[in-house]
Amino acid sequence: MGLRVTRRTYKIGASRGITLPATWCHYYHDRIATVTLIGEDVLILAPKGLEEKAERLMKEVEKM
């Protein structure tokens, strides 16, 4: 599944939030009750069960 979208953030107290694309939510419907965010300068959002894949991807991003 390839996806590239731009989202505006919105204020939630002292934090910021975004909405997730509907197609992505439908694709991962049973895995997104909680998600893992990985990163510093770049954030990767990983649905349940894909955290290790996201960690490997982050290591590749950090090499750049």
**pTM here?**
0.75
Structure-block tokens of residue 44: 């990767």
d(CA 19, CA 12): 12
Which residue ranges make up each domain of the chain? 10-63
- Number of Cβ atoms within 10 Å of the Cβ of 55: 14
How do the pLDDT tens digits run along the chain, 64 residues long? 688 999 999 999 999 999 999 999 999 988 888 999 999 889 999 999 999 999 999 999 988 8
> Checking phi first, is residue 11 left (phi over 0); if not, alpha (psi -120 to 50) or beta?
beta
